Every structure is written in structure tokens, then in C-alpha cells.
Amino acid sequence: MDYDQTIPFYVHKFQEHPWRVFETEHYTFHVEVDSLAENEIESIKQTQELAYTKIINTLKLSPPDKKIEYYFYSSRERKKELMGDDWYGQTIYNEFTVHAVYNEKDKVVGEHEDTHLLSLPLSLPISLFQEGLAESMVGRSMFGHSHQEIIKAGLARGLKPEIVSLMSQEGWLETPDEEAEFYYSLAGSFITYLLDIFGLGTFKKLYTAMERGNTQVENAETTWLNGLGINPESL
């Protein structure tokens, strides 16, 4: 099944780049020649195969019949030059591809981006759930910190997130980039809470029901919370 993905920045210059290519059972890795990613490719292979197994087993998913393709860029500037955007990592759903930065400062590896791809058979839900599940699978923030510590620090700075507002795709997209670690941590903590309280089976039904673009979801954000016995005002 193909999913709509609005990515106006996306360019395909990376397709013409002279990559070094490495294969594992579930991945194809494209790395720049003489880059840190090339030098550490064995570690990358191991990290991603372990992440793959963890996601499939934890979420009880069927392995896809194709490999995940990774493109590793030595800097955010290089990534923007070759694929159009300088954010740390992006998943291109219908190409089953991840574009990620890999250098001494930022090593975008692990469960996060792979969770986006491997969970697609369930749904492409609103970002609160999609990013929250990915963060929950990682178990820490995008910069390696405790979700709870990042949330506490954000609240202490005066951030006042509203889960109900974040259930709207528009509401999620309006969160400031400079506070991404806070909002991703909040989403990850929220999804971990749902998994712990209701279990995987109920959560997967909920995840599927929260499909992005479903007007019933976006116009009645609190209905499912009330149905599960959760008071939205307490979140």
C-alpha cells in the first residue's frame, strides 16, 4: 500500500552520487567514500540488525519482503545538498528508504526511523502516535537523554503542551523545531504509557484507528481517550 507523503523539499541528487554500498540480511547501506559511516559500517550493520529484530519482535510484526535502504550523509549540509533537507533523519515511506546524518556529533542509527517503516502495515497514524511509537521503541530522546528528564526540563521552562491539541496533525506540525526533543519525548512517553496500561493488542488497534487524514479522528480527538477510560484533561 502506498501512502501520501508531502515532502516538497525532496530531491534525488543522491541517486547520482558515487556511494559505497554494503548489504545485510535486512538492509542496504549507502555511505560516502572514506566517511565515518564507511569506517564504522560493521557497527552500523550490527546496530540496525538488532534494532530490526527488536521492532519486529516487540510489536509482533511480519517482516517485510524488501530491505530497508539507508543513505548516510557526513553532515546536515551534505544531506540537504543531495536530498533536499538538513534535518537529522527522514523516512521516505513508499521508497522504503531512510536518509540520515552520520558523523562524530550526530549518529542517526537505531530503532527510530526503522519503526516508521516496519509499522506501516498497521497504519500511517497522526504524528503524535507515529513519532511516539518510534521514540518509545528507542527508549530515550533523539539526543540520548531520558524522556522524563527532557519533559521535566521543558515544563520547568514554561512549555505547556496539550495532548488533545497534539492529536491534530496540524497541531503537531505547529510545534517549534527548536523544541523537537521535548515534543518527541512527550510523544514517546505517552505511547509507552498506553502500551504499559492497555497492552500491545489494544494499542495496535488504536494505532491503526488513528490513521492520518481520518476526519473522524481529527474532529473528535478525545473520543477514543474517553472510550479507554482516560480523562484527556489529566494528560
What residue segments make up the domains of the chain, in order of their start? 13-118, 127-225
pLDDT value for 235 = 47
**Exposure class string for 134-144: b at 16+ Cβ within 10 A, else e:** bbbbbeebbee
- For the entire predicted model, the pTM comes to 0.90
Phi, psi (5° rounding) for residue 64?
-70, 165
- Using alpha carbons only, give the angle 56, 200, 194 rounded to the nearest 5 degrees: 120
Of 165 and 220, more confident = 165
Q: Distance between CA 116 and CA 122 in Å, rounded? A: 10
> What integer best gives the mean pLDDT of the chain?
90
Quickly state the pLDDT bin for 217 (edges 50, 70, 90).
low
Tell me the fold of 13-118. Answer: Glutaredoxin (3.40.30)
* The pLDDT value given to residue 227: 53
Question: What is the percent of the chain where pLDDT is above 90?
Answer: 77
In tens, the pLDDT along 82-123 reads 999 999 999 999 999 999 999 999 999 999 999 999 999 999
pLDDT at 168: 83
Q: Which residue has the higher pLDDT, 219 or 207?
A: 207
Cα(199)–Cα(219) distance, rounded to whole angstroms?
Answer: 26
Q: What mean pLDDT comes out for the span 9-17?
A: 95
State yes or no: pLDDT of 30 exceeds 60: yes
**What is the model's pLDDT at position 52?**
98
What's the mean pLDDT in 149-176?
90
Amino acid at 67: K
Cα distance between residue 41 and residue 5, in whole Å: 30
Whether 107 and 75 have beta carbons less than 8 Å apart is answered as no
pLDDT of residue 3: 79
Q: What is the mean pLDDT of residues 2-17?
A: 88
Judged by average pLDDT, the poorest of 15-29, 162-176, 187-201, 213-227 is: 213-227
Model confidence at 1, pLDDT cuts 50, 70, 90, reads: low
* DSSP type of residue 15: G
Residue 211 has pLDDT above 90, yes or no: no
Q: Average pLDDT of 139-148? A: 94
